[in-house]
Structure 1
Amino acid sequence: MVLQVALVTGAARGIGEAIARRLAKDGYDLAINDLPSQAPGLEKLQEEIIAMGRRSYICIADVSKENEVKNMIDNTVEALGGLHVMIANAGIGRISPGPLGTLESWDLTMATNARGVFLCYKYAAEVMIKQGQGGRIIGASSVAGKQSLESHTAAYAASKFAIRGLTQAAARELGKHNITVNTYAPGPIDTPMSKTFGLSDAEISAVKEKERKMTVLERIGTVDEVAGVVSFLVSSDASYVTGQTMSVNGGMLLD
């Protein structure tokens, strides 16, 4: 099986950007996705990918919207000639006060983190099955998808648990097509996403220090360390790995 084209959602910054850059170095042509507001980041990343000698295609889309996901994948196939690796990385996080947070926060978080990953898995799988070449589908869970760690993040934890269940179900269903399905579960990683939880810089620093002390390596991880795990999961070395959630958490949870 020759894997040539990868699509990474949420690629304009943070973990998604690092994954796209790493896969380009690994020899993949890249379709990179994010929201319209993140277009400048995608354009800069595209320049880097092309400079590495790889082809690149920008897909502006909201992964929570079915028609946009379907069009994103169809356009990737048309622009780059196929789809062999789907990295459903896009996600959001919110701190929502009150018992278990607000319904608005629940709906918004689940729409992006759970529904968005489901749509990416579904439409990528349809293309991969049609191509008949197998493939790799990877989703973004979290340490919070194995054990909820912070207060007021019920929706976030639930969405990341959902991705693990979806990944196992998809692995069982798609294995006969030689499509592996796995997910990565980062712990404390230094990314811009920390700011989307609505915390002040001081509060973010306090949380990171608390998380650092919870790891056995006693440090915050980097986006490149997550990208390295994803690189392995899409490689031929991981051809017999499916339905798994691989932790990248510095030993925050020893599972």
Structure 2
Amino acid sequence: MNGNTHHAVTRVAIVTGASKGIGRDIALRLADDGLDVTINSRNAAELEVVAEEIRAKGRKALAFVGDVSDEEVVQSMVEKTVEVLGRLDVMVANAGTAVVSRVVDMSLKDWNYCMDSNLASVMLCYKYAARQMIKQGEGGRILGASSILGKKGGPEVSAYVATKFAIRGLTQCLAIELAPHKITANTYAPGVILTPLTNIDVLDKQYGGTHGAFTKHVCGIAPDGPHSSGDTVASLVSYLAKPEAYFITGQTIVMDGGVVMS
């Protein structure tokens, strides 16, 4: 073997909520970028399909089924990733859900479910990814999913909005804490991205449009207002995950067609 052969270390990412929608697009984009990827969701069959898509790109994929609002699940997901793929360089805490309810009708059960699914899950992913990256001592990239609804409120989605605002604050705190370790922490804040989650047929019709109309209503956007596909989010995450993005941290970056400008 040639003594001058240089083997670049393959970077490794975890993407939660990756069986469909934005998470799937992010996972496939990171695979295109040359990363091996652990993908997570609660749906084993859907996850395996995405894992095969990643392998078809010549990258390694680990499908890890579990609920990331459970601390033991997140801890073992990070451990398994390091055991199977060798390390962890990028964490994308993307998993989340929405509860549709006005504040005056909100049950504490629904509120807590949304807090666990969207916020506790992100904190746990941040916690265990950060521990692993600090241990490796080579920096890292941590990303969480916010939303334009992490910048402004909307009707009937108070629990979701509260979590998306909170993720911004959590991420800023993490960015400060991890700066000495050369680990960045940022959030991406999409506007209306057409995914299975935004396809709510009955409500979409009720709000005068097709796929995405109810989501637009919640965001204060007209039925014919701007929307996009998950590729727009994946391309931003792709950049923020790169070593060259070292000077961006503690930020929430909006991609929404100009609905919320900051």
Residues of 1 paired with 2:101 and 2:95: CA distance?
20
> Shift of residue 213 of structure 1?
8.4
Corresponding residue for residue 98 of structure 2: 93
Does residue 182 (structure 1) correspond to residue 186 (structure 2)? The answer is yes
> Shift of residue 103 of structure 1?
1.1
Would the aligned equivalents of 1:208 and 1:220 in 2 still touch at CA under 8 Å?
A: no
Note the alpha carbon deviations across 1:150-184, whole angstroms, 9 max, x for none: x1211100000110000000000001001000000
Instruction: State the TM-score, normalizing by the size of structure 1.
Output: 0.92
Would the aligned equivalents of 2:13 and 2:88 in 1 still touch at CA under 8 Å?
A: yes
Residues of 2 paired with 1:104 and 1:199: CA distance?
25
Corresponding residue for residue 104 of structure 1: 109
Corresponding residue for residue 125 of structure 1: 130
Residues of 1 paired with 2:77 and 2:112: CA distance?
23
Runs of 4+ in structure 1 displaced over 4 angstroms?
A: 208-213
> Shift of residue 100 of structure 1?
6.2
> Shift of residue 97 of structure 1?
3.9
Residues of 2 paired with 1:120 and 1:245: CA distance?
18
Note the alpha carbon deviations across 1:208-248, whole angstroms, 9 max, x for none: 56579838x94311100110110111112311000000001
Note the alpha carbon deviations across 1:91-135, whole angstroms, 9 max, x for none: 000102451622111100000111000000000000000011110
Residues of 2 paired with 1:116 and 1:198: CA distance?
28
Note the alpha carbon deviations across 1:3-30, whole angstroms, 9 max, x for none: 6000000000000000000000000000
Corresponding residue for residue 24 of structure 2: 17
Would the aligned equivalents of 1:143 and 1:186 in 2 still touch at CA under 8 Å?
A: yes
Q: How does 1:62-81 map to 2 (within 5 A)?
A: 62-81=67-86
Note the alpha carbon deviations across 1:57-79, whole angstroms, 9 max, x for none: 01111111101110111111101
Residues of 2 paired with 1:173 and 1:81: CA distance?
25
Of the candidates 131, 139, 147, which is equivalent to residue 142 of structure 1?
147
Residues of 2 paired with 1:103 and 1:10: CA distance?
24
Residues of 2 paired with 1:117 and 1:25: CA distance?
25
Instruction: State the TM-score, normalizing by the size of structure 2.
Output: 0.89
Note the alpha carbon deviations across 1:14-53, whole angstroms, 9 max, x for none: 0000000000000000000001xx2121111111111111
User: Structure 1: 5+ residue runs without aligned partners?
Assistant: none
Corresponding residue for residue 165 of structure 2: 161
Please give the root-mean-square deviation of Cα atoms over the aligned residues, in Å: 2.2
Would the aligned equivalents of 1:212 and 1:220 in 2 still touch at CA under 8 Å?
A: no
Does residue 202 (structure 1) correspond to residue 202 (structure 2)? The answer is no
Is the alpha carbon distance of 1:169 and 1:26 closer, same or farther for their aligned partners in structure 2, counting shifts above 3 Å?
same
Would the aligned equivalents of 1:14 and 1:192 in 2 still touch at CA under 8 Å?
A: yes
Corresponding residue for residue 229 of structure 2: 222
Residues of 2 paired with 1:113 and 1:66: CA distance?
14
Residues of 2 paired with 1:237 and 1:110: CA distance?
33
Is the alpha carbon distance of 1:100 and 1:134 closer, same or farther for their aligned partners in structure 2, counting shifts above 3 Å?
farther
Residues of 2 paired with 1:103 and 1:213: CA distance?
26
Matched AA of 1:103: L
**3-state SS, counterpart of residue 23 of structure 2:** helix
Matched AA of 1:162: A
Residues of 2 paired with 1:68 and 1:192: CA distance?
25
Would the aligned equivalents of 2:168 and 2:252 in 1 still touch at CA under 8 Å?
A: yes
Does residue 152 (structure 1) correspond to residue 156 (structure 2)? The answer is yes
Which has the higher mean CA deviation after the structures are superposed, 218-227 or 83-92? 218-227
Corresponding residue for residue 33 of structure 2: 26
Residues of 1 paired with 2:44 and 2:225: CA distance?
35
